[in-house]
C-alpha cells in the first residue's frame, strides 16, 4: 500500500464518495453505497428510454437535439421492457456529472453485461468519442444498448456499465510493471505457480493468452451462444438454465475454428492478480491479429485475483465475436493484454470483499451471474 495519496491516479471508493458529497456526481435518486466499487462506480438506468434508428455521436450539440431526428419511439422501463436483438436503444442514466477541471472519466460494460453479448457504450453531450468523458464535463450521461445474442428485459435501476475517474496520468509503464511482478507476482499458471519475469511478454501492458485445453476431452473449454433463445431478465440472478442459451464446446484438440458473427465465451490460460494499489483494463492485443473482437467488458478493480493475499490469481473471461471470415484460434495464443493503472490511494474494500457482492473472484470459465451453476472452471460431461 502506498504510504500516501499518489499525485495521479484513478479515484477509489472513498474519493468517489467525496465526489458524490460535493455534487460532482449527481443522481435523480441518491447514489447508493452498493454502486461504489473499489475503483469504479456502477451507473443506473432511469425510468425511460428510446428506440433509436442508429447509434450516433453528438459532437456538434446536445444529445436531445440528435434524438429529435433519430428517435423512433419512447420505451417505459417501469414494468420491464424487452430489448430485441439487433435493435439500438438509448437510455438517460440516473446519474449526471459536474466534474472538476482536473478529472476525466471512462466507462466500460460491467462483466455480466459483456458476458451476455450486450453491446453498450456511454454518450455525453458534445462528445466525439464513446465511453470517454472529457475533463470538467457538466451534463447528462446516456447509455446506448444493442443486444447481440439474446433478447433482454431491463428495468429502472439496473446497472449495465461502470465509470472510473482519472486524475492525471496514471498508466503503469512496462519497466515499472515488470518491477511490480518481481516484487509480488502478477501472473500465474493454472497450477498457481508464478511466472518468471523472463517468461512474460510486456508490450504496453501484460500480454495474456487464451486457454483451449481441458484435463480430459470431456471438459468444457468454452461456450457458443444459441440462437432463438428465451428472454434474459437482467433483474434475476442464478435463475436461467445454461443449456437453453449456450452450447458447450468440448475439444480434445488444441485449436478451434470460430464462425463469423457467432458469440463465444472462453477463459484465459493463465491467472492474473491485481494488487491492492493498482487497477487494470483488458484491451485487444493487436488489431492486426484478425477481424476478431476479443472483449466487451474489461475493467478489473483493485484486488481482483488477490483476495486478502491468499489467491494465486484469477482467470480472465473472454467475450469473443469474429467478423467476416472464419477464424482459427489455438491454445496458448496471444489474445489480449492488461494495462495497469495506479490508483490515487488504496481503496477501503478490495474486489471480492463480501460486502461488495463481487461475482467473479476466483472464477474459471464462467458465464454471467444470471445462470444457474455459473461456476464452470472444471465442468465435465456426465460419465457413463
Neighbours of 225 (CB within 10 A): 18
Look at 152-161, 241-250, 354-363 and tell me which has the smallest mean pLDDT. Answer: 354-363
**Alpha-carbon span 53 to 314, nearest angstrom:** 40
The percent of residues above 90 in pLDDT, for the chain, comes to 73
Please enumerate in sequence order all residues whose Cβ is within 8 A of that of 288, keeping only pairs 6 or more positions apart, or say none: none
Q: 334-366 pLDDT, tens per residue?
A: 888 999 999 999 999 998 776 666 566 656 788
Q: 165-185 pLDDT, tens per residue?
A: 999 999 999 999 999 999 999
**Alpha-carbon span 205 to 89, nearest angstrom:** 34
- Nearest residue to 315 (alpha-carbon basis) of 285, 291, 338: 338
Whether 378 shows a pLDDT value over 70: the answer reads no
Q: How confident is the model at residue 381 (pLDDT cuts 50, 70, 90)?
A: very low
Average pLDDT, the chain: 89
Instruction: Write down all domains in the chain, each with its CATH number in brackets.
Output: 9-167 (2.70.40.10), 174-356 (2.70.40.10)
Helices vs strands, H then E, count in the chain: 5, 26
Interval 13-33 mean pLDDT: 94
> And the C-alpha cell for 134?
472529457
**Alpha-carbon span 317 to 115, nearest angstrom:** 8
Q: What is the pTM of this model?
A: 0.90
CA separation, residue 300 to residues 187, 219, 364, 382, 384 (Å): 14, 27, 15, 34, 40
Interval 136-159 mean pLDDT: 97
- Nearest residue to 163 (alpha-carbon basis) of 283, 43, 47: 43
Q: How confident is the model at residue 286 (pLDDT cuts 50, 70, 90)?
A: low
**Parallel, antiparallel, or unpaired for β 232-233 and 292-293?**
unpaired
- Nearest residue to 347 (alpha-carbon basis) of 106, 30, 107, 41: 41
**Alpha-carbon span 238 to 168, nearest angstrom:** 40
Q: How confident is the model at residue 159 (pLDDT cuts 50, 70, 90)?
A: very high
Amino acid at each position: 500500500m502506498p504510504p500516501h495519496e499518489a499525485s495521479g491516479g484513478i479515484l477509489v471508493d472513498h474519493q468517489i464518495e467525496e465526489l458524490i458529497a460535493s455534487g460532482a456526481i449527481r443522481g435523480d435518486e441518491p447514489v447508493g453505497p452498493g454502486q461504489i466499487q473499489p475503483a469504479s462506480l456502477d451507473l443506473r438506468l432511469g425510468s425511460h428510454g428510446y428506440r433509436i434508428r442508429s447509434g450516433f455521436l453528438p459532437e456538434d450539440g446536445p444529445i436531445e437535439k440528435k434524438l429529435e431526428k433519430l428517435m423512433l419511439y419512447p420505451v417505459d422501463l417501469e414494468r420491464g421492457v424487452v430489448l430485441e436483438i439487433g435493435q439500438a436503444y438509448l437510455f438517460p442514466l440516473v446519474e449526471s456529472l459536474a466534474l472538476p477541471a482536473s478529472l476525466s472519466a471512462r466507462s466500460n460494460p460491467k462483466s455480466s453485461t459483456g458476458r451476455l453479448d450486450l453491446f453498450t457504450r456511454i454518450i455525453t453531450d458534445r462528445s466525439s468519442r464513446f465511453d470517454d468523458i472529457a475533463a470538467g464535463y457538466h451534463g447528462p450521461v446516456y447509455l446506448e444498448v444493442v443486444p447481440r445474442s439474446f433478447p433482454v428485459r431491463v428495468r429502472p435501476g439496473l446497472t449495465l456499465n461502470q465509470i472510473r475517474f482519472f486524475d492525471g496520468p496514471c498508466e503503469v509503464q512496462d519497466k515499472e510493471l515488470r518491477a511490480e511482478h518481481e516484487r509480488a507476482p502478477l501472473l500465474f499458471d493454472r497450477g498457481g505457480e508464478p511466472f518468471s519475469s523472463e517468461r512474460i511478454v510486456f508490450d504496453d501492458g501484460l500480454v495474456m493468452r487464451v486457454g483451449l485445453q481441458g484435463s480430459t476431452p470431456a471438459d468444457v473449454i468454452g461456450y457458443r451462444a444459441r440462437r432463438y433463445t428465451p428472454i434474459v431478465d437482467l433483474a434475476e440472478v442464478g435463475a436461467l438454465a445454461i443449456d437453453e442459451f449456450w452450447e458447450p464446446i468440448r475439444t480434445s484438440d488444441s485449436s478451434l475454428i470460430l464462425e463469423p458473427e457467432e458469440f463465444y465465451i472462453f477463459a484465459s490460460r493463465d491467472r492474473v492478480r491485481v494488487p491492492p494499489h493498482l487497477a487494470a483494463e483488458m484491451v485487444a492485443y493487436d488489431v492486426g491479429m484478425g477481424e476478431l473482437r476479443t472483449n466487451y467488458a474489461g475493467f478489473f478493480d483493485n484486488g481482483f485475483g488477490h483476495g486478502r493475499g491468499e489467491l494465486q490469481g484469477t482467470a480472465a473471461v473472454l467475450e469473443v465475436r469474429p467478423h467476416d471470415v472464419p477464424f482459427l484460434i489455438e491454445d496458448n495464443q496471444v489474445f489480449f493484454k492488461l494495462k495497469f493503472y495506479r490508483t490515487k490511494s488504496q481503496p477501503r474494500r478490495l474486489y471480492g470483499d463480501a460486502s461488495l457482492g463481487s461475482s467473479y473472484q476466483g472464477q474459471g470459465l464462467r458465464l454471467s451471474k444470471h445462470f444457474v451453476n455459473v461456476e464452470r472452471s472444471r465442468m465435465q460431461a456426465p460419465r457413463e
